Structure 1
Amino acid sequence: MVSFWANVIMHFAIAFGVVFGGSMLSGVAAVLTLQSPTEKMLTIAENIKIWAMVASIGGTIDPIRYIESHVAIGHLNPAIKQIVYIVVAFIGAHFGTSLIQMICKGGTQP
């Protein structure tokens, strides 16, 4: 049985990796197609964030059904775990987007 914390780390890493990897590869594609890599990477990082969360949690409807079914019968612990996974996936995707922004813009912005 995989522990809760192992799942939390996995969801974070998957969401982060989808955003970071997709953005980096879009930068390579932009170079090959003679487009601006920084603009393409920034655009892709923002647009792919929600899909990184979906990929991390394994779908859009099943986790919501899981939460609803457990809350309906009074089992809050599994529902809270699922909500934590969704929040952690968002944080991972956001960190990936922030890292791409730092790389493309040359550091922190005011």
Structure 2
Amino acid sequence: MGFLSTVIIDFCVALGMVLGGSMIGAVGALITHHPPMDTMLKLADQLKIWALLAALGGSMDTLKIIGDGVWEFKFNPVLKQFAYLVACFLGCQTGFYLVKWIVLGRES
């Protein structure tokens, strides 16, 4: 798989985990008589870090590649890993802001 494909997939996986997890969590909150919109927003915030790690597919591999690249002065793999991290982070944040938009748009 190419670099750009991996970046796009990482972004979408992180986005999907935040959106899907918070929406399904809101269904669970509804079933258990908790406020679904508040729960959805809280879950979206809490799921960001887990979505980031899951989208990377194993953070230890990422850390090993970064560590080896720095110590061996091979910066191309390090830059690729940082690009994957940024893509995952942007996916998580985008998902969070979409959920926030849904929740706040619902309250007004």
Structure 2 equivalent of residue 35 of structure 1: 34
TM-fit CA distance, 1:57: 0.5
- Alignment RMSD, CA only? 1.4
Letter in 2 for 1:12: F
Q: Flag structure 1 segments of 5+ consecutive residues without an equivalent.
A: none
TM-score norm. by structure 1 comes to 0.93
State the alpha-carbon separation in 2 of the partners of residues 78 and 51 from structure 1: 23
Structure 2 equivalent of residue 65 of structure 1: 64
Letter in 1 for 2:102: I
Letter in 1 for 2:80: K
The Cα offsets for residues 29-50 of structure 1, whole Å up to 9 and x where unpaired, read as 1111111000100000000100
TM-fit CA distance, 1:61: 2.4
TM-score norm. by structure 2 comes to 0.94
TM-fit CA distance, 1:64: 1.1
TM-fit CA distance, 1:62: 2.1
Letter in 2 for 1:6: S
TM-fit CA distance, 1:65: 1.3
Structure number with higher helix proportion: 2
Letter in 1 for 2:16: G
State the alpha-carbon separation in 2 of the partners of residues 51 and 60 from structure 1: 11
State the alpha-carbon separation in 1 of the partners of residues 59 and 4 from structure 2: 22
State the alpha-carbon separation in 2 of the partners of residues 8 and 48 from structure 1: 20
Q: Flag structure 2 segments of 5+ consecutive residues without an equivalent.
A: none
TM-fit CA distance, 1:60: 2.6
TM-fit CA distance, 1:22: 0.1
